[in-house]
Amino acid sequence: MATGQLFSRTTQALFYNYKQLPIQRMLDFDFLCGRETPSVAGIINPGSEGFQKLFFGQEEIAIPVHSTVEAACAAHPTADVFINFASYRSAAASSMTALKQPTIRVAAIIAEGVPEADTKQLIAYARANNKVLIGPATVGGIQAGAFKIGDTAGTIDNVIQCKLYRPGSVGFVSKSGGMSNEMYNTIARVTDGVYEGIAIGGDVFPGSTLSDHVVRFNSIPQVKMMVVLGELGGRDEYSLIEALKQGKINKPVVAWVSGTCARLFKSEVQFGHAGAKSGGEMESAQAKNQALRDAGAIVPTSYEAFEVSIKETFDKIAQEGKITPVKEVTPPQIPEDLNTAIKSGKVRAPTHIISTISDDRGEEPCYGGVPMSSIVERGYGVGDVISLLWFKRSLPRYCTQFIEICIMLCADHGPCVSGAHNTIVTARAGKDLVSSLVSGLLTIGPRFGGAIDDAARYFKDAFDKSLTPYEFVESMKKKGIRVPGIGHRIKRGDNRDKRVELLQKFARTHFPAVKYMEYAVQVENYTLSKANNLVLNVDGAIGSLFLDLLAGSGMFTKPEIDEIIEIGYLNGLFVLARSIGLIGHTFDQKRLKQPLYRHPWEDVLYTK
C-alpha cells in the first residue's frame, strides 16, 4: 500500500467504460477547483476509438477514446489513476490489465458483486506491486480542491455545500459511498472541511482497508485529524485498532461503527452492503466501537453524537494552534447544461463537428496550426499546404515536391479517358462547372485512377511479408485479383510511361530509401515475362513511392502509415490532381461552345 497523498491538482485518470454523467461531474469539479487541465486524460471503450465531446467549464473539449487499456496507457503515460465503471462481470479482468500497466498507480472499481475470488487476486497483485486498489463496490474518493473519482460527493451543488472545492484539514474514510456524501456535509459544518476522503467499498473484501488509509492520512502534513465511519460485519476495523495500539497513528481519530440497531432484531441482519452482516460478537457494531474506544480513538455514544465529537476534536486542535486557517474562496459558477437550463435561459450547446486540421478563428486562418501569413512568408507551395491539411505536419521539402510532381503528372491524360469523357459530355449538355467536374470524378474507382491505394496496400503487404515477386503475383492470381498498379492499355515494356520514369528518377535522387519502389520494379520485371503490357503504371509508381515517402521521412509510425493507406489518402491525391484537368476540359468545351454530344450509331454494336 502506498503511503502519503494519492492525488494532486495535476492527477489525471483513464476512465473505463464510457459514462457521460460521472465524467462530466469530474470535469465540472476540475473547473470548480481551478485546475488548468482536465482530470480525465482518456476514455477506454472496448471496440471503439475516436473522441468524446464533453465540457470543461464553458469550453467544449474532445477526450480521446481508446479501444484497449494498453493503448490508452501508451497514449497517456502520465495518467496514473484507472477508474473502472465496467459491470461486475468484466470489472476484475479489466482492472487486472490496468494494474499490470507500469503507468497505473491507483485503480478504483465501482461495480459491486465482483466475484470474491477475483477480488482476492486483485488485492494480492496490488499489494505485491505497491499499487492502491479502491473498491470494489465503491463510489471512489476525493482530494478536496484537486481530484475526484466519478460520482464521489454527488452533485456539484453538494460539492459546493461541502466546500470540497478547496482543501480542509480532515482525512475521512468510510465503507459506504452514500454515507460518505452525508459525512462530507457533516465535516464541513463543524470543521474547516475535508482534505481527502475515501470510500473503500462495501464488499466483503475491499481492495484497501480503513487502516490503510488512516495510516496514510497520518503521514500527510495537511491532515490534522481523521474521521472514520465503519459498519458492522467483517473485521476490517480491528486492523485500525491494532494500528492505534501500536502507535502508528499519532493524530486524533474520531470513529463510529454503524449498525448498533442490529441487536434489536432476533435473527441475523443483512444491511445494504455485502460485508454489512454480523458474523459474531466481535463483528458487531458495539464490540467494534468499544475496541476502538479502548485503543484510543474518540468514539461517541451514538451516531447522533458523532458530529459533536468531530467538532470538539477539531476545536481542540485548533485551540492548540495546529490548524492553519483556511482561506475561503468563491468557486466559479458551473454553466448549466442545455436540458437543465432552458427555463432559466442559461444554456451551452454541444458542437456537431470536430476539426483538427484548420482553424478560422482569430485574426487569420491557420492550416495545421500554421498561420496563413507564415505559409506565404515561408514560400510554401501546394505540396506544403497538402502536408499541413492532410498529414497535419510540415513534411520535408523533397516530400512536398514529390506531392506537387504527382499532381502535375496526374492532372490530365487526354480527352479519351473515362473521367474526361464524362466531363466533356456533361459540359456539352449545358451543365455547370461543379456538375461537369463531379460527373468525371464519379468515374474514379478500381478501374480508373483509383488503384493507387490498392497498389500501395498490396505492395506493402507483400514486401513486409518478404514475399518474392513470384510468390506475390501468383498468390494474387490464385485469389483472382489483378495486381493493382501493374498493366496499361497502351504502354508496353519497350514503351514505358514517361510519368513513371520521371517519378522514379526524382525518388532515386531525393528519397533516403526506395525499398518499396524497387520491390515494385522487381514485380514489374516478373509480370513483363508474362505479357509485354504488364508494366508498372503511374498508379503503381505513386503507390509504391508514397510508401517510401511515408516510411523514409521518419515522421510517421507504422499504424499511421496503415491508416493513411486505409483511409484513401493516395487516391485523394489522384482526385485532386485530375480535378485540374477535368475543370480544364469543362472550360474548353464551354469556350468552344460545343453542342450536345450524341454518340454515333456506327460506334455501337446493336445486337440481341
pLDDT of residue 4: 86
Q: What angle do CA 569, 427, 416 make, to 5 degrees?
A: 65
State mean pLDDT over 158-187: 95
At a CB cut-off of 8 Å and minimum separation 6, what does 36 contact? none
Cβ neighbors of 270 (< 8 A, separation 6 or more) are 276, 277
pLDDT tens figures, 249-260 = 999 999 999 887
Could you read off the pLDDT of 78-98 as tens digits, one per residue? 999 999 999 999 999 999 999
Query: Which pLDDT belongs to residue 202?
Result: 85
Chain centroid, CA 146 distance in Å: 22
**pLDDT at residue 122 is higher than 90:** yes
Residues 26, 30: Cα–Cα separation, whole Å? 6
Which of helix, strand or coil describes residue 198?
A: strand
Q: pTM above the 0.75 mark?
A: no
Q: What is the amino acid identity at position 403?
A: I
For residue 1, what pLDDT is reported? 39
| pLDDT exceeds 90 at position 341 | no
Q: What is the mean pLDDT of residues 482-497?
A: 88
Q: Are 168 and 191 in contact (CB under 8 A)?
A: yes
Split at pLDDT 50, 70, 90, the class of 350 is confident
Confidence bin at 262 (pLDDT 50/70/90): low
Helix orientation angle between 498-510 and 397-410, rounded to the nearest 10 degrees: 180
**Residue ranges of E strands in 1-146:** 13-16, 40-44, 50-56, 59-66, 81-84, 106-109, 132-134, 140-143
Is 277's pLDDT higher than 70?
no
Residue 352 has pLDDT above 90, yes or no: no
Average pLDDT, the chain: 92
Q: What confidence score (pLDDT) does residue 568 get? A: 87
Question: How does residue 507 score in pLDDT terms, banded at 50, 70 and 90?
Answer: very high
pLDDT for residue 236:
85
User: Residue range 98-105: average pLDDT?
Assistant: 98
**What pLDDT score does 276 carry?**
46
Query: Would you list the DSSP string of 449-509?
Result: B--HHHHHHHHHHHHHTT--HHHHHHHHHHHT---TTB--SS-BTTB--HHHHHHHHHHHH
Contact 119, 208 (CB under 8 A): no
Which residue type sits at 574? F
Active site residue ranges: 273
Are 136 and 212 within 8 A, CB to CB? no
Tens digit of each residue's pLDDT (9 = 90 or more) over 558-593: 999 999 988 888 889 999 999 999 999 999 999 999
pLDDT > 90? residue 126: yes
C-alpha span between 204 and 120 (Å, rounded): 10
Per-residue pLDDT of 584-594, as tens digits, reads 999 999 999 99
Q: Which amino acid is at 207?
A: G
pLDDT for 273 equals 47
pLDDT exceeds cutoff 80 at 23: yes
Cα maximum dimension of the chain: 111
User: Strand pairing partners for 196?
Assistant: 143, 171
Confidence of residue 268 (pLDDT cuts 50, 70, 90): low
pLDDT at 604: 93
Residues 353-390: pLDDT tens digits? 999 999 998 899 999 999 999 999 999 999 999 999 99
Q: Tell me the average pLDDT across 291-301.
A: 97
Least confident of 159-173, 301-315, 530-544: 530-544
Does the pLDDT value for residue 302 go beyond 90? yes
Q: Give the helix/strand (H/E) hosting 227.
A: strand 225-231
The string of pLDDT tens digits covering residues 43-66 is 999 999 999 999 999 899 999 999
Residue 497 cell numbers, joined: 510511361
- Percent of the chain at pLDDT exceeding 90: 80
Q: For the segment 177-189, what is each residue's pLDDT rounded down to a tens digit?
A: 889 999 999 999 9
Who wins on pLDDT, 113 or 341? Answer: 113
**3 state SS of 199:** strand
